[in-house]
Structure 1
Amino acid sequence: MAVASIKTLFCGPESFTPDGGFLMGESPEVDGLYVASGLNSLGILSAGGMGQLMAEQIVYGNASQDMTGITLARTQRYESSKHFLAARTPDTLGYIFNHAGKPNYKFKSARNVRRLALHDRYVERGAYFVTLSGWEMPYWFSQDGSMPDVECRYGRQPWFNFAAIEHQATREQVALFDKSFMGKFIVQGRDVEKVLNRVSANSVSIPVGRNIYTQWLNVQGGIISDLTITRLGEQEYMLVTGDVLQRITTSWLRQHTAADEQCTVTDVTSAYTLLSLQGPRSRDLLKAISGADLSTESLPFRASCEIELGYARILLVRITYMGELGYELYIPTEYSHTVYDALVEGIEGQGVPLVHGGLMALDSLRLEKGYRDFGVDIGNTDTPLEAGLGFVVDFDKDEFIGRDVLVAQKASGPLKKRLLQFLLKDAEPLLIGQEPIRCNGQYVGYVRAGAFGHSLGASVGLGVVELEEGITADLLRSRRFEIEVNDQLVEATVSMAPMYDPKSERIRL
């Protein structure tokens, strides 16, 4: 019997990332340093595709596929700490091979990394927390004192009705949301207006006290950031971005500021608690508490001012992500408790129960209104026109990154790719995202994000559709659209405009 010995032994250490996604792309801190790592035991399987995407990024500055979920810049600094990695990495292994794709799954290890200033107040209110970029965020609030189990399964769960109450309170009266997880930046300097106009598709040449919504684009016209900008002074702006854009914001501005230009950016994410008071009664209630003139004549939509609340003076911006009359309150973190207590006591003192809203209600509200979420509905392979955001592109500006691509796309006729809103015609199925879309029986795209629209009466979602003949309102009306939900075909209504308050009349009251 022959005996064969082992001549060479290779041991390749496994590499699992905190969220189970690859780590790819240019370093936000070191220009020209590209990283392709964190392969989660799938390196050989994914090598060909990774190599192509990396080559495209290096040569063209952007890949042919959306990189948002695997970009290196999505991570936070705390995720590289030894303590965090030791706690989370074993959990990632189980997630990849057992839980990936399951509804409601959230990591339970390495939690409580970043706590909201008002965390304890929300515990008292019955919050169920999930992690978002390390933040412990309320997902829903118990309305009856119970705390039902959250299971990784499809269908309605006991806490479904809790989010419905939060949703309806926002639409009918008032609700309070904490959005402190958003990235916040102060940009200042002699050339700040010039630099921001260079990187923004919309114009930032606005009066002091006004706010705009815009996108930042790469040279191919793809969206690399989605944000609001408030002008605080002649040489000062506040930028507010999604949580996944916290690291990319500073690096993108640095890369696009010339050596002889004065433009500095300061990350003030942790310096402010961001509370969002939303609903048709928000103005009257806030006015009664603060004594400020919040009439539309004094403070129209997308205007800002400073008001006194509790023991603090805070920045107030009339803006919404829920599709209602509402305000965002930027509170210096150390004053969070006095402002919150003044809000709650002032509103409930007027006989109005202040319903607190979590991320689940926020998602259903914004999807009914068709508001986009970077990294979920839109990414760096979508142009603003394809994303249905052409209305915030200022084509009168002579120059901004990606402008030539958008001009050519606009002149080429009906788009062949478009983000659309869908509403199921059956009230029972639940959309959660990633469901295939059929048009006259043919696969044409997928739902990027979905939730139950309590005001519309069925599940609503945003999905990308590609049709070679070009997408127009007339064509959509002539086609039959269906969405596959748990292997069942469900007919859906499709629209290019928001199905809830399509003319945005409610937010401008």
Structure 2
Amino acid sequence: MSLPDSAEVVVVGGGIIGCSTAYHLAKMGVEVVLLERAKLTSGSTFHAAGLVGQLRSSANITQLLGYSVELYDRLEEETGLATGWKRNGGLRLACNDERWTEVKRQATTAHSFGLEMELLTAKEAQDLWPLMDVSDVVGAAFLPTDGQANPSDITAALAKGARMAGALIVEDCAVQSVDIENGVVTGVVSDKGRIACPKVVACCGQWTRAFAATVGVNVPLVSMEHQYMVTERIEGVTPNLPTLRDPDRLTYWKEEVGGLVMGGYEPNPKPWAVKGIPEGFHFSLLDSDFDHFEQIMELALGRVPAMETAGIKTLTNGPESFTPDGNFILGEAPEQPGFFVGAGFNAFGIASGGGAGMALAEWVAKKEPPFDLWPVDIRRFGRPHFDTDWIRTRTVEAYGKHYTMAWPSEEHDSGRPCRRSPLYATLKARGAVFGEKLGWERPNWYGPDGARDEYTYGRPNWFAHVGAEHAACRDGVVLIDQSSFAKFALKGPDAVAALGWIAANDVSGPPGSLTYTQMLNDHGGIEADLTCARMALDEYYIVTGTGFATRDFDWIAKGIPQGMNAQLVDVTSGWAVLSLMGPKARDILQAATRADVSNDAFPFGTAQTIGIAGAPVRALRVSYVGELGWELHIPTEYAQSVYDALHAAGDVTDAGYRAIETLRLEKGYRAWGSDIGPDHTPLEAGLGWAARKSTDYRGKAAVEAQRATGVTKMLATFTADPKVILLGRETIYRDGVRVGYLSSGGFGHTVGKAIGMGYVRHAEGVTRDWVLGGTYELEVATKRVPCEVTLSPLYDPQNVRVKS
């Protein structure tokens, strides 16, 4: 088959993700060509197990997987090809009290996201799955809309649907290179010729990392061996048997031709192709490793005794791509415009295939995803993820945790420490218990020697310690190492004009002014939430969250209008940050510097360079905890000296990130990635005051239109009995009707209550009076508890400490 001279989009890879992306692009009228080096499904799709589950911890990823189900429902009729798809439902077992709590919280999450999920007794679960022994089962959850598919058949149907819509699919066509000219994708070169194109989509499974690297794009995934067993026919196995997940026994099950498919996620997984994937590896499997699978088999026999006498057809060992955090990877590469990625599906590519292909196609065609996809966005990764050994180390841990308990606030242990503040050793000696984000070690809380996190769905062991840090911030002063903040310098003669277009708030103040702002998309959604300090007429110092370093840099850099002279540089490593917060912060700071830090000389929302212990410190008067305070940005080499000087200046308490969370919830400060994001506008989030009405900026038209028409959702704060544990995703009921779910949850040690934030939704419109006029309940682990609602901060240091 000859290749066309050009196309709008070239998709590389003919597995389920590539075929789904091509299908959806073609349906949108995009001229798309898919190139597959061998045959369709010959990578890892052909040996996938084919379970389709929907529920994830993110509403939008759950929605994505829900779209897969909707697509698979109609695909066979549309294309005339059998897909093996059936909605036979999915069971998830719980065999101890902690797991049962987790399952009940998952059921509440399902209700929050609009999914039907039923809680069953052990006997009711056995009625649906008669072959299993339920003597150790505490309870089960059943999702009736889950199901299973034949991976090769459903991919073939997607490919046919793509062709029917006008896509060209070429097999036995190996892509050799991607042409880049002046930073722009111009074409794809294959062994059958060149296709000129402005956009390339890499859906190459476990080959994606190496392929993307040829154009300087980093895709953090590695190959892992994954095994499952297929049995001969077993008496009692019927075609309508639900899929079964038994996380306490690390196993999953589905029916296949009267027998069973059984696989699992062993705690000691085996990486594959450490030195690279062998040439010509397609439609290929690895040697079955019965010894390694024995641990899974032993656990399975306890659940399904019939396995002891069942005939074994095959033990399939197929390598698949896994990622360091267990989520797949979608989006336009920040390193290379026009190069898109859909890969790293962690053995749930069939469940994700329909939705991921839809989302990626929209991203390619419309230059933005259909909704917020931050949990799977390629820009969630950063500097540690360039090292394949680090990725592999972390991915081994993530694979091994696939079916372990998903504890609240759980941290990874592998690949640590990686990135360290210059104060790491000092803080560790003072009792810091560290967490990790984007490779950075960050103090979560402080405890006695040897203290470490002990995970639970109840009150954790750090609760009282965090409470003490919280109280110290409210009544005295705390010092928090926030060196992991991402920091950028924007400089150039057009810096003010460029940032003025990207930022919603007014950043045109004089040098020394400090502005909290959102950055919006064309729909008014919040793409970034950060602080900008104007350091000079032509220079800004921009500070954002640790985890958003890659994403926010990409958004700002791409947002600089064409022709403007402004350069963005990541300066994160050059600056350590100490946040000095609390009503006594000024006393400590004044004792450590000769600069005048009185309110008149150093008002809120300003930045100055002051001297402390010989260091030129960028002091930003800003607070995320609701108290007087400064972020002290210190050239890295001075960090220890400044830290020592601040402690020497008075009674200062070291505090960590978990205290920040409790403090910000009381003050009602929003967190990007949970409370605010691309699906939320400033008006919906209660941040309309930060969206200027004067000059133009990106997203202004959408914001002003919403000002005129009103909103259909509004972010509110909820409080409940202190015994209630809120974690986020609990369902909100207003006057008995489900109206939303919590975006974040925690505890307020000053107000002495459980606190949650979440959007209250009403299609006919939401006003302040409507929100405050209802009677509210929260569903927590399937139980409803009464709560109070407010649109004001619970804590105000200038006024009343606790608002009822």
TM-score by length of 2: 0.59
- Contact map agreement 1:308 1:314 (CA 8 A) in 2: yes
- Contact map agreement 2:514 2:532 (CA 8 A) in 1: yes
Distance change in 2, residues 1:322/1:220 (3 Å): same
1:195-244 CA distance string (max 9 Å, x none)? 00111111111011010011111112111111100000000110001122
What is residue 285 of structure 1 aligned with on the other side?
A: 588
Q: CA deviation at 1:97?
A: 2.4
What is residue 658 of structure 2 aligned with on the other side?
A: 360
Asked if 1:60 is matched to 2:366, the reply is: yes
Residue 385 of structure 1 aligns to a residue whose secondary structure is coil
What is residue 80 of structure 1 aligned with on the other side?
A: 386
- Contact map agreement 2:472 2:653 (CA 8 A) in 1: yes
What is residue 59 of structure 2 aligned with on the other side?
A: none
Asked if 1:301 is matched to 2:604, the reply is: yes
Instruction: Give the Cα separation in 1 of the matches to 2:339 and 2:679.
Output: 22
Q: CA deviation at 1:113?
A: 1.0
Distance change in 2, residues 1:293/1:149 (3 Å): closer
Residue 395 of structure 1 aligns to a residue whose secondary structure is coil
Q: CA deviation at 1:305?
A: 1.2
What is residue 323 of structure 1 aligned with on the other side?
A: 626
Q: CA deviation at 1:501?
A: 1.6
The correspondence of residues 209-288 of structure 1 with structure 2, limited to 5 A, is 209-288=512-591
Paired letter, 2:371:
Q
What is residue 400 of structure 1 aligned with on the other side?
A: 697
What is residue 426 of structure 2 aligned with on the other side?
A: 121
What is residue 332 of structure 1 aligned with on the other side?
A: 635
What is residue 409 of structure 1 aligned with on the other side?
A: 706
The correspondence of residues 375-390 of structure 1 with structure 2, limited to 5 A, is 375-390=673-688
Distance change in 2, residues 1:505/1:247 (3 Å): farther
Q: CA deviation at 1:93?
A: 1.0
Match for residue 324 of structure 2 among 18, 32, 40: 18
1:350-402 CA distance string (max 9 Å, x none)? xx2x11111110100011111111112211111111111111000111x2111
Of 78-87 and 278-287, the range deviating more from structure 2: 78-87
Instruction: Give the Cα separation in 1 of the matches to 2:444 and 2:465.
Output: 10
What is residue 477 of structure 1 aligned with on the other side?
A: 772
Instruction: Give the Cα separation in 2 of the matches to 1:248 and 1:148.
Output: 34
Instruction: Give the Cα separation in 1 of the matches to 2:499 and 2:772.
Output: 40
Distance change in 2, residues 1:504/1:83 (3 Å): farther
| Matched-pair identity in % | 39
Q: CA deviation at 1:432?
A: 1.6
Instruction: Give the Cα separation in 2 of the matches to 1:341 and 1:148.
Output: 24
Distance change in 2, residues 1:296/1:271 (3 Å): same
- Contact map agreement 2:454 2:461 (CA 8 A) in 1: no
Instruction: Give the Cα separation in 2 of the matches to 1:222 and 1:472.
Output: 19
Instruction: Give the Cα separation in 1 of the matches to 2:644 and 2:557.
Output: 39
Instruction: Give the Cα separation in 2 of the matches to 1:171 and 1:312.
Output: 28
- Contact map agreement 1:422 1:460 (CA 8 A) in 2: yes
Asked if 1:190 is matched to 2:485, the reply is: no
Q: CA deviation at 1:491?
A: 1.3
The correspondence of residues 369-380 of structure 1 with structure 2, limited to 5 A, is 369-380=667-678
RMSD of equivalent CA atoms: 1.8
Instruction: Give the Cα separation in 1 of the matches to 2:376 and 2:717.
Output: 26
Residue 322 of structure 2 aligns to a residue whose secondary structure is coil
Instruction: Give the Cα separation in 1 of the matches to 2:354 and 2:467.
Output: 45
Q: CA deviation at 1:470?
A: 2.2
Instruction: Give the Cα separation in 2 of the matches to 1:296 and 1:226.
Output: 26
Asked if 1:39 is matched to 2:336, the reply is: no
Residue 422 of structure 2 aligns to a residue whose secondary structure is coil
1:330-361 CA distance string (max 9 Å, x none)? 100011111111111122xxxx2x11111110
Q: CA deviation at 1:148?
A: 4.4
- Contact map agreement 2:627 2:797 (CA 8 A) in 1: no
Paired letter, 1:88:
R
Paired letter, 1:380:
P
1:15-66 CA distance string (max 9 Å, x none)? 1111111211111111121111111111011111111211222233333332
- Contact map agreement 1:14 1:40 (CA 8 A) in 2: yes
Match for residue 417 of structure 2 among 98, 109, 112: 112
What is residue 5 of structure 1 aligned with on the other side?
A: none
Match for residue 461 of structure 1 among 756, 759, 779: 756
Instruction: Give the Cα separation in 1 of the matches to 2:799 and 2:634.
Output: 27
Instruction: Give the Cα separation in 2 of the matches to 1:169 and 1:250.
Output: 34
TM-score by length of 1: 0.92
Asked if 1:133 is matched to 2:438, the reply is: yes
Which has the greater radius of gyration?
2
Residue 505 of structure 2 aligns to a residue whose secondary structure is coil
Residue 779 of structure 2 aligns to a residue whose secondary structure is strand
Instruction: Give the Cα separation in 1 of the matches to 2:565 and 2:636.
Output: 28
Paired letter, 1:421:
T
Q: Which runs of 5+ in 1 are unaligned?
A: 1-7
Asked if 1:431 is matched to 2:726, the reply is: yes
Distance change in 2, residues 1:360/1:168 (3 Å): same
Aligned length: 488
Residue 403 of structure 2 aligns to a residue whose secondary structure is helix
Q: CA deviation at 1:256?
A: 2.8
Q: CA deviation at 1:123?
A: 0.8
Of 241-250 and 103-112, the range deviating more from structure 2: 241-250
Of 222-231 and 463-472, the range deviating more from structure 2: 463-472
Query: Which of the pair has the greater relative contact order for Cα pairs under 8 Å at 6+ separation?
Result: 1
Instruction: Give the Cα separation in 1 of the matches to 2:474 and 2:739.
Output: 33
